[in-house]
Amino acid sequence: MYKSKLDYRSSHIDPKTVENYENSVYGKHSSYSRIWELEKGILLDIFKKNNLSNNEITYLDFACGTGRVISFLEDKVARATGIDVSQNMINLAKPKVHRSKFIVGDLITNGSLLQQQYNLITAFRFFLNAQPILREQAMEVLARKLASRGLLIFNIHGNTLSYRFPIVMLYRLFGKRLQQMTYFQARNLAIRNGLKISDYYGTGYIPKFLYPLFPHSFIAAFEKLISKTFLKFFCLDMIFVCEKDDK
């Protein structure tokens, strides 16, 4: 994806863009839908490792989009809320859930949309695409909405030091940029806003165009093996687990 000069918040308002996101980007056999299957396994690992109990968790899915993440997690939490600026996105999300609440609005400019704090917040496919100032604003708001001892889980789905690195360099030669972030850029974004990284996961080591050549079981086993080594810092999709730094 090219670096956008526009505010990312306006990028998924148009119905055609939303339709493409739902049916192409996350279509049944798309590469991102395969990565999502891997991400689901990581989310389950996070729940297990942190002993998250569904009768205790108040959950917010920030920039929830078409409901991919919230529909997967809603049965694992006590109460689930999704918020997004796009009514068209929310319209596609609603049929996928049975007890989640949705809010259409901009939490960054109107923090009063959500009065409470949450002990679990997710933000997937947002921070990479957002312009730098929006990243800072969003992380600051989410840090305020995170309860003490709560967890914020966010991802960066374009690691600079993944297999995309040669493409990133090639684009730069022609004066263009792919949206990309390093591990340290993402980590420091959290730290600047009063959070600390309590855990880190990586997935997406196999180039996306190779996914159709292998069964999902092979990809999942390979990815899990690689993620236990130092190579986890060279994945495409970085997943950070954060908590408040109460020092």
Domain interval for residue 200: 8-242
pTM of the model: 0.92
1 in a structural domain:
no
Q: What is the pLDDT of residue 98?
A: 96
Q: What three-state secondary structure class fits 212?
A: helix
Q: What is the pLDDT of residue 4?
A: 46
Q: What mean pLDDT is reported for the chain?
A: 92
Which ranges constitute the DSSP H helices of 30-78? 31-49, 68-73
pLDDT in tens, 136-176: 999 999 999 999 999 999 999 999 999 999 888 888 888 87
2 in a structural domain:
no
Calpha distance 111→130 (Å, rounded): 18
131 in a structural domain:
yes
Domain CATH for 202: 3.40.50.150
Give how many domains the chain has, as a whole number.
Answer: 1
pLDDT in tens, 4-24: 456 777 777 788 889 888 998
pLDDT in tens, 93-134: 999 999 999 999 999 999 899 999 999 999 999 999 999 999
120 in a structural domain:
yes
Cβ(211)–Cβ(219) under 8 Å? yes
3 in a structural domain:
no
